[in-house]
Chain A
Amino acid sequence: MNIIVCMKQVPAKDAPLRLDQSSVWIKEADISFETNEPDTFALEEGLRLKEKFSGELTVISLGPERVKQTIKEALAKGADRGIHVLDDQFYQLDPLGMAVELAAAVTRGKCDLVLTGLQSDDHGFAQVGVILAELLGLPHATIIKQIEVLAGPSGGAGGIKLKRELEGGWFQWVELPMPALLTIQSGINKPRYATLKGIMAAKKKEILTLSRADLGVRLTATQKVERIYVPTKSKKTEMIQGSAREAAARLVEKLKHEARVI
């Protein structure tokens, strides 16, 4: 089973964000980045399927030079090769633009399954996976919590049975033929750590870099981010200062006499 996992690199969860001069993105210079968490679950799911059914796992990441780190980490965990879609202007792309570039990279190889996280922690579009499926002509399912591979008539993999998460504690089983694209929900598995052996092995693995020009894609924007900004508070928050003990005492005072909730 050949698998492609699309992974994004995003600002670290506690990174202090400051807007850059363009006002449509953040200053990247002084913050740290990490792999988009839902994508780490997608990678783990891909690695488990590859180990069970054998095949090759390719990781694709779109973004500037820094996203090579995300690819390297995936290679160290067991991915076989990486494709870096090098695009310094990635932040200006709309969901369609991102999917068009990824689709051009995906079609460079053969695959039975394309996996990605359900959404990213930076743009938060929650669209790129679904659009990618449409561009590739693949059936898809989203927010997946379990994957079972069904036996085909000849004994090989026939299709997949999937547990989709719905809202309000509901789930649904659905079946799809392969090849297919799935977006993976966080918590589906326990992502592994890279081993020292894996890190050493990763150094020999190939990372193919493709620019927008290499991909030969034509992009037509469907939407434009005019500006991003820190939202003005709709609620007045009273920040309580002091040492832990002082702050705790002040808070209890307020909860008791001001809010009257204890």
Chain B
Amino acid sequence: MADGILVVAEQRQGNLNKVSWETLVAAQQLAAAVGRKLGVAVMGKGVGAIAEEFAGKKLDEVLLVEHDLLADYTPDGYTLALQQVLQQTSPYLVLMPHTYQVREFLPKLATSTGRGVIGDCIGYRKDGNQLVFVRQMFQGKTNADVTFAGDPPYFATFQAGAFRVDQLAGGTGKASVRSLSVSLDASQIRTRPLELFQEAKQAVDLSQAEVIVAVGRGIKAAENLPLVQKLAELLGGEVAASRPICDEGWLPLDRQIGSSGQTVAPKLYLALGISGAIQHVVGMKGSRTIVAINKDPNAPIFEVADYGIVGDLFEIVPALTEEIQKAKA
């Protein structure tokens, strides 16, 4: 595995985070492009079944890293364990999904080894011998081409949805699963992990909605929401929102779309006064038809929209409601 590409899969309480498959897709393509071996590390306690599942895919080796102190994720535990994995495997490039968990420990791990992370990448390309990673800046308004400096190992994370799971290559046989032992002591772990919980059961399952009328900052005040509710009702759809609207308490949290809310793919998604920050877009870009109405012609939401109208939603939405009424009459 020395000088190879290493994927660190993510699991919680023995449940694999499916976005890890996307990272493996990226790693399979990268490994082929640069001609390097590919390994996957599965960390935790009692996660052998996940390791076996990876062993059936196209890769060279699965590393199983188990320890009592890895049963619950902690930044210290994961950092200390992965430092030892890196020492034992000397990878060239380490890839992980850009999840909340990875965001919490990976910059610490990289810093502790004097390295850096190119985070939240949406793709990569090979320029001659150099790997160029593409990430977004300014909330998705620009892309940036970024290269690594200094010595490997290099660390990069990929955004959810950047690679498609249906491109995952299966293995011709079963790859070997090798156990790596790491030594950890409870005194090294400063975080005390307590219970996991869900705030309130999700009252609405937006993933089943055929039409979603989503509203963002452009709505300006809670008093203006009936405008949107009326349109949603007329279309037989659900009202949803971007994060700031739920943060304000104008709509309940279970109507939030995006990385910290629900992921949806309705037939019709209307984005009203939503700028289209990447955290929102990842939750709705799979929608069949996307309509964006926004006063800012440069809003990134127009990048993913099928139809766009630049203008004041307080003028356009009432007109739209009226026109749909007419069309339905």
Contact = CB atoms under 8 A, between A and B. Distances in A.
Interface of A: 11, 13-14, 16-17, 19, 24, 26, 94-96, 99, 121-127, 130-131, 133-135, 139-143, 161, 165-167, 169-177, 186-187, 220-231, 233-240, 244-245, 247-249, 251-252, 254-256, 259, 261-262
Contacts of A254: 307
A124 B312 CA distance: 28
Q: Which 5 A-B pairs have the closest CB atoms?
A: A222-B116, A187-B247, A248-B319, A139-B190, A244-B315
A172 B139 contact: no
A67 B107 CA distance: 25
Contact of B303 (A94, A139, A177, A235): A235
A127 B324 CA distance: 46
B298 interface: yes
A156 to B, nearest CB: 19
A161 B324 CA distance: 51
B305 A224 contact: no
B142 A130 contact: no
Contact of B308 (A234, A240, A249): A240
Contacts of B117: 95, 127, 222
Given A230-B141, A237-B302, A254-B307, A244 B198 contact: no
A252 B235 CA distance: 11
5 contacts: A17-B138, A130-B107, A186-B247, A223-B146, A248-B323
B137 A251 contact: no
A240 B319 contact: no
Interface of B: 12, 75-76, 99-101, 103-105, 107-108, 110-112, 114-120, 132, 135-150, 190-199, 202, 211, 217, 235, 243-244, 246-248, 253-254, 259-262, 267-268, 275, 277-278, 288-289, 291-292, 295-296, 298, 302-312, 315-316, 319-320, 322-324, 326-328
B107 A172 contact: no
Given A121-B277, A166-B100, A235-B304, 19 more contacts: A124-B135, A133-B108, A134-B107, A139-B190, A140-B104, A140-B108, A169-B199, A173-B194, A187-B246, A222-B110, A222-B117, A222-B149, A223-B147, A231-B303, A237-B292, A244-B316, A255-B291, A261-B268, A262-B327
B243 A187 contact: yes
Contacts of A94: 116
A186 B292 CA distance: 24
Contacts of B312: 244
A124 B298 contact: no
A96 B142 contact: no
A117 to B, nearest CB: 13
B324 to A, nearest CB: 6
Nearest to B218: A14
Pick from A26, A245, A261 the residue with the most CB of B within 10 Å: A261
B138 A26 contact: yes
A255 B136 CA distance: 31
A244 B319 CA distance: 7
Contact of A239 (B110, B197, B288, B309): B309
Given A228-B144, A262-B327, A124 B291 contact: no
Contacts of A255: 268, 289, 291, 307
A98 to B, nearest CB: 11
B211 A261 contact: yes
By secondary structure, the A interface counts as: mixed
Pick from B196, B244, B312 the residue with the most CB of A within 10 Å: B196
Contact of B119 (A11, A125, A224): A125
Contacts of B244: 186-187
A141 B263 CA distance: 25
Contacts, number: 252
A255 B120 CA distance: 34
Contacts of A142: 100, 103-104
Contacts of B142: 17, 19, 26, 228-231
Contacts of B193: 172, 174
A126 to B, nearest CB: 5
Contacts of B307: 237-240, 251, 254-255, 259
A235 B100 contact: no
A44 to B, nearest CB: 12
A181 to B, nearest CB: 10
Contact of A222 (B115, B132, B202, B324): B115
A34 to B, nearest CB: 13
A169 B99 CA distance: 14
Nearest to B108: A134
Contacts of A130: 75, 103-105, 107-108
A126 B103 contact: yes
Contacts of A240: 307-309
B16 to A, nearest CB: 14
Contacts of B114: 220
B305 A237 contact: yes
Contacts of B120: 124, 126
A165 B147 contact: no
A226 B115 contact: no
Given A95-B107, A251-B320, A171 B196 contact: yes
Contacts of B116: 94-96, 221-223
B309 A252 contact: no
Contact of A231 (B143, B147, B259, B316): B143
